[in-house]
Amino acid sequence: MADAFNNEINVGPPPVTLPKRRSFGPLGIIVVLLILGGGGYLWLNYREALTDMVQAVTGSTDSRDGAPVLASAAEGGVSATDFAAFQQQTGSSIQAATELLTAQQVELKRLSDQIQGLTTQVVGLTAKIDALQGRGVLAPPAPAAVPTAPLAAVPAAPVVARPAPTAPRKRPADRPAGAISVGGAPLPAAQPPR
């Protein structure tokens, strides 16, 4: 019986091997870091030479076109008298600004004190008005056209709040007498009551 079975197992074609990817690994990282480090070193130490080479290649005369030059060797230095005059002018400008600022602060303090005093007066008057209204001594103001008598001559009457007038209620609609047609069917003639 062992001869009847085939010992070979058919698994199909052999598997296809994928090509291996090459990774740079640590060597690639080191190379990138060396390139970046070398570029940084050149930029920090030879920046002027590199910018001059770039300007020579591109043909531009100055990379900062339109930017004001603060000082150059061709202009020369500033004399001590010019510097002293500039220093004097700047000092007087700073002193004037300081005096103006001090005056503004004094004025602001004065206005703040005035506002605080007025606020205190308003709070006191509000408390007096509330107290008078609570006792019923103060009546609501009358119209300006009507002359008023002094408060002592008029007996004080307590103010009673009236409810707001409401609109009159509508009466419900009268119901129709007799039969009502539903669905559009004709109604039988109404029979007189017996």
Query: Which of 159, 161, 142 shows the shortest CA–CA distance to 150?
Result: 142
Predicted confidence band at 58 (pLDDT cuts at 50, 70, 90)? Answer: confident
Q: Output the pLDDT for position 70.
A: 53
Q: Output the pLDDT for position 170.
A: 72
d(CA 65, CA 58): 14
Evaluate whether residue 35 is within a structural domain: yes
Question: Helix 47-58 crosses helix 25-45 at what angle (to 10 degrees)?
Answer: 90
Question: Do residues 93 and 54 both lie within one domain?
Answer: no
Question: Do residues 89 and 52 both lie within one domain?
Answer: no
Domain final residue pick, 134, 151, 176? 134
Q: Output the pLDDT for position 157.
A: 53
d(CA 141, CA 143): 7
Q: Output the pLDDT for position 49.
A: 84
Evaluate whether residue 187 is within a structural domain: no
Tell me: the pLDDT tens digits for 62-117? Answer: 545 545 555 555 566 888 899 999 999 999 999 999 999 999 999 999 999 999 99
Pairwise pLDDT comparison (94 vs 146), residue with the higher score: 94
d(CA 166, CA 78): 90
Domain count, the chain: 2
Evaluate whether residue 67 is within a structural domain: no
Evaluate whether residue 193 is within a structural domain: no
Which tokens hold the place of 168? 């009159």
Evaluate whether residue 42 is within a structural domain: yes
Question: Do residues 128 and 90 both lie within one domain?
Answer: yes
Q: Output the pLDDT for position 67.
A: 52
User: pLDDT above 90 covers what percent of the chain?
Assistant: 30
Given a contact cutoff of 8 angstroms between Cβ atoms, the answer to whether 103 and 97 are in contact is: no
**Structural domain that includes position 53:** 26-60
Pairwise pLDDT comparison (60 vs 141), residue with the higher score: 60
Evaluate whether residue 186 is within a structural domain: no
- Spatial CB neighbours of 107, under 8 Å, sequence gap ≥ 6: none
Q: What is the mean pLDDT of the chain?
A: 76
Evaluate whether residue 189 is within a structural domain: no
d(CA 53, CA 119): 73
d(CA 157, CA 138): 10
Lowest average pLDDT, out of 15-19, 34-38, 104-108, 111-115, goes to 15-19
- Residue for token pair 């605080």: 116
Domain final residue pick, 118, 134, 150? 134
Whole-model pTM: value is 0.30
Evaluate whether residue 52 is within a structural domain: yes
Reply yes or no on whether the pLDDT at 125 is more than 90.
Answer: yes
